[in-house]
Structure 1
């Protein structure tokens, strides 16, 4: 009978779920297209292949759970199942040592997550990542199985608080049932951590799309000036688009490409792709640089005769296996001689959109190199509405000469990189939010139905308490306190896990995580709190029903 009941309920849920999913599919697709910044028309469609695949997968799951229920009934006599409901749960023994081990495992995982870039200097990065994962997961299970028991026993031993109001009932209920709930609560905490980390990461990347695109391409357009004819074509196109995308800024910067190298500590670990392909960096005079950076809100440089300053857009300051420019020496030819300048400092801002490596040198040194080397000029242009400059970008790209490769391009724009980033991060955020919502509803429902099951078992106890003088208000407070513990612990642990995971991510990737993280935690917490109030209300209705 139980087998048929489970099968019937499962199949009904499957049919209802497919129907609701089909109705909402167009809405979700429109949301996805909007997140990706695409201009597409979405039509309502019910794909039969997807429905069949979904039906098969869920039918197998429903069949498996129904068979498990059938096996449970078959293994025990009916009288044993009724008797099991009346048997009280034994108090968990707990272990201070295991509780401390759980804290150590989680703490070590957190520490390595924060110090990941330094840890991989001494061990394989996969080994470190695997330890963080296993230590955090194992520590979480041990935390719920032993540390929570330790905390509840300490609360019980605090006589003044234990015998205050309904605390005796609440603490005892939690203590005796924590053993049965430990694994499910630990699983929920881990699922919450995975959900928040996935959602937080995807939202962070989407939130930072414009900022990161602007870091890589600080101007709407940058191109190498080849001749007057190219300039004329560019100006004609810009004039034709002045109503939609008027030019807001223009600048030209002269530079000298030289076959230069670096000497000193980690000097051979330059990550700049353009430099690694060409073995060239671009010399810019101090005066030209100080004029250029007024628009970029960058500090001007003041160099002595034998100093230089490096601008490498791929430089990461805390990267221990990257280049170390400051204090090293830039070496480049000046005719038949070799010039060496001590590097005063480094910055990872892009000076143009062409992703080149720049070395700022004193004006006198620049003039010496200019006498024996050819110069090139790069023009930078900013236009209004660069986020929506698809047509203008296509027109300018069509007149530009082809580059030697994808790396060595004489033209680069902001819009293309921004749109590619928007499509990638938009898709990631959609998947992250969708899966996050599914996991959130699943974990909230698990706690909700678990608590309602316990409410049915506790009903007789609360009836007795009410008869001996416990008021309804006291019962509500006791239920709220008991349920809050069950909801709060996995939520707090999940948030802590995700905070350290995302903090570790921010050490690797230069993303602003605080605002998107607070948004993710806020929304997740609000829905979780909604489940909490719903559970308290339903719990009270069950135990107070006449």
Structure 2
């Protein structure tokens, strides 16, 4: 048998331990390949779509950053997993050295084993990526709202970049890990597994600190909803940053101190501790929680970041965020003296009629006074209100007025405007004090930070008749044409045609009109969030797989000790059903405790974002929580499936090992 065959047989003999490492590495390779598959696609080398010329550049930068993140975390994950395996094989290495293996040969053996696993991970990962490449492109095209889709192609660049990158990664890790085993004394290696572990201890003060830190961190995040009313942007960022730091610190001490302290408390409770098999379960969990505390901490924090990012990106792709921008499918603002007004409005109507869209047209006129008041005359308002189903109003006295308060105000500003009883108008020779008789809740007329005042036609006509000098810099009267369409998401083709005809120039302040399309803006926003979603989902899944693999490694690295321990206990009466219950309870805590903590952290973040989103949208419900529940439920289901698969495999392996011990005796 050659040395290469010996290395291969070593990998196969330890396949139970290496299996999780192999599959996780394969998955990381596949995700890295997926980024390359999308970013190198021929259809994405120019513009992402005809909507935005900058989206492709932003997309490429985002995919590259995501690739770097995947590569970076893959390096440390694989390095960690390999070092964990080496620790469990110290006794094996000691036996090999007793039989004459040199230090150099041992390093060579470890190097070859790692490169073998790396090679097969690269080939398998790229192969699986190629098999599912068509499905990946179909899903990506749907998320990015690309109507023509992304055609299949042979991704040679993605294959080359993935193969070279991960070959270098595994080469570096193999060089590192082959020198990790320092064998000074054979006796130390042979007795590495026999060293007793000291009983873990926990500080009550650090345990309390974990609760206080997390509570204060949550309070800081929730205070965002109040703090934004009086704090500056920098202060808000410091508030959020401080809250996140406190939650991270609290989470670390939760796993290293509080969890162990709770187990010790249960151990001291004789009624609980001596009930059925709790003695074995609790005693073992004290050691497992302390040994895995840092792993749990990393899993919880990374998972919380991934869950939060994915949930928010998924919510922002909702159509409600598009409706937040405007109630109109098409909005055309025409300033007084615009020579193209009739032509453009006629063209919009013609295009909608040709595409068989039913629409409602509103065209209120507004004028802004010299002292910054935006006015709309009563007849325009009542016509507008009828079309939207609101109650029409009357103004009995000439100086009566109706105010529509804006959205997006801080509570103090809102209260100040709501308390006003009179409004001063100052526009040229027109100096009038208006009396507010009512405040109307017309969502469609609510602008951001700009109250609209409904006045009698006579007052409006007096204001518009004034000719002010250019020094006042007052905008002329504007007519706002709004086309209300129920299925506005389907108007993208019409939008593209109209944008070519009307060609609004937002850079020219002298342009007498402006035109915008809700579907156009929503699709662009959806594509931006689609890119974020693809990146965050893929990175989030990689983190999640790595996190669950950490748990797999920790479980199976203690396997030899576990089956010997349970075999000895089995001789004094522990049944297989009791063994299964003990193992299941321990595994449930190990697999679900960090994920549960991550979900609680994410839920707090979602609740805060939901409140801020709702308030900034004028009280309309933009559901962040709904999308977040879907994300959290999906990951929880994945974890449950993974748990049952690993549990079944672990118990089967445990039974086989215990049976072999009994048979040998």
Note closer, same or farther for the CA distance 1:402–1:54 as it changes in structure 2 (3 Å cut): closer
1:468 aligned residue (550, 558, 572): 572
* Aligned residue in 1 for 2:282: 171
The answer (yes or no) to whether the contact 2:315–2:624 under 8 Å persists in 1 is: yes
CA distance in 2, matches of 1:106, 1:406: 51
CA distance in 1, matches of 2:503, 2:653: 76
The answer (yes or no) to whether the contact 1:222–1:411 under 8 Å persists in 2 is: yes
1:521 aligned residue (632, 635, 656): 632
CA distance in 2, matches of 1:232, 1:177: 76
Q: CA deviation at 1:309?
A: 1.9
Note closer, same or farther for the CA distance 1:95–1:131 as it changes in structure 2 (3 Å cut): same
* Aligned residue in 1 for 2:374: 282
The answer (yes or no) to whether the contact 1:192–1:439 under 8 Å persists in 2 is: yes
Answer yes or no: is 1:394 the counterpart of 2:503. Answer: no
1:489 aligned residue (593, 614, 622): 593
2:426 aligned residue (326, 333, 336): 333
CA distance in 1, matches of 2:225, 2:504: 39
CA distance in 1, matches of 2:390, 2:594: 45
CA distance in 2, matches of 1:384, 1:28: 32
The answer (yes or no) to whether the contact 1:251–1:292 under 8 Å persists in 2 is: yes
Answer yes or no: is 1:15 the counterpart of 2:109. Answer: no
CA distance in 1, matches of 2:215, 2:328: 44
The answer (yes or no) to whether the contact 1:256–1:370 under 8 Å persists in 2 is: yes
Q: CA deviation at 1:102?
A: 1.1
Answer yes or no: is 1:211 the counterpart of 2:329. Answer: no
1:59 aligned residue (167, 183, 192): 167
- TM-score under structure 2 length normalisation: 0.71
CA distance in 1, matches of 2:374, 2:403: 12
1:292 aligned residue (351, 376, 384): 384
Map of 1:234-383 to 2, 5 A cutoff? 234-235=345-346, 238-239=349-350, 241-242=352-353, 244-261=355-372, 282-286=374-378, 288-296=380-388, 305=399, 307-312=401-406, 315-318=407-410, 325-327=417-419, 330-341=423-434, 349-351=443-445, 357-363=450-456, 365-370=459-464, 372=466, 375-383=477-485
The answer (yes or no) to whether the contact 1:188–1:443 under 8 Å persists in 2 is: yes
Q: Secondary structure at the match of 1:112?
A: helix
Structure 1 unaligned residues grouped into runs of 5+: 262-280
Q: CA deviation at 1:460?
A: 1.3
1:216-240 CA-to-partner distances (Å, cap 9, x unmatched) read 2211222246679753664466346
The answer (yes or no) to whether the contact 1:237–1:395 under 8 Å persists in 2 is: no
The answer (yes or no) to whether the contact 2:217–2:246 under 8 Å persists in 1 is: yes
The one of the two structures with greater contact order (alpha-carbon pairs below 8 A, sep at least 6) is 1
* Aligned residue in 1 for 2:134: 26
The answer (yes or no) to whether the contact 1:325–1:346 under 8 Å persists in 2 is: no
CA distance in 2, matches of 1:301, 1:167: 73
Q: CA deviation at 1:422?
A: 1.6
Note closer, same or farther for the CA distance 1:401–1:473 as it changes in structure 2 (3 Å cut): closer
Aligned length: 522
2:582 aligned residue (478, 481, 484): 478
CA distance in 1, matches of 2:394, 2:573: 82
* Aligned residue in 2 for 1:82: 190
- TM-score under structure 1 length normalisation: 0.85
The answer (yes or no) to whether the contact 1:247–1:381 under 8 Å persists in 2 is: no
Note closer, same or farther for the CA distance 1:404–1:187 as it changes in structure 2 (3 Å cut): closer
The answer (yes or no) to whether the contact 1:334–1:372 under 8 Å persists in 2 is: yes
Q: CA deviation at 1:297?
A: 6.0
Q: Secondary structure at the match of 2:332?
A: strand
The answer (yes or no) to whether the contact 2:402–2:453 under 8 Å persists in 1 is: yes
Note closer, same or farther for the CA distance 1:154–1:400 as it changes in structure 2 (3 Å cut): same
Q: Secondary structure at the match of 2:418?
A: coil
Note closer, same or farther for the CA distance 1:232–1:485 as it changes in structure 2 (3 Å cut): same
Answer yes or no: is 1:140 the counterpart of 2:232. Answer: no
Note closer, same or farther for the CA distance 1:456–1:318 as it changes in structure 2 (3 Å cut): farther
Map of 1:443-454 to 2, 5 A cutoff? 443-454=547-558
Answer yes or no: is 1:537 the counterpart of 2:648. Answer: yes
Q: CA deviation at 1:243?
A: 5.6
Answer yes or no: is 1:414 the counterpart of 2:542. Answer: no
Note closer, same or farther for the CA distance 1:506–1:456 as it changes in structure 2 (3 Å cut): same
Map of 1:104-143 to 2, 5 A cutoff? 104-116=212-224, 118-119=226-227, 121=231, 124-143=235-254
CA distance in 1, matches of 2:138, 2:128: 16
Q: Secondary structure at the match of 2:365?
A: strand
Q: Secondary structure at the match of 2:431?
A: strand
The answer (yes or no) to whether the contact 2:429–2:466 under 8 Å persists in 1 is: no
CA distance in 1, matches of 2:118, 2:246: 36
Bigger mean CA deviation after superposition, 48-57 or 179-188: 48-57
1:4-43 CA-to-partner distances (Å, cap 9, x unmatched) read 2112112221222122223333322221111111123423
The answer (yes or no) to whether the contact 1:456–1:542 under 8 Å persists in 2 is: no
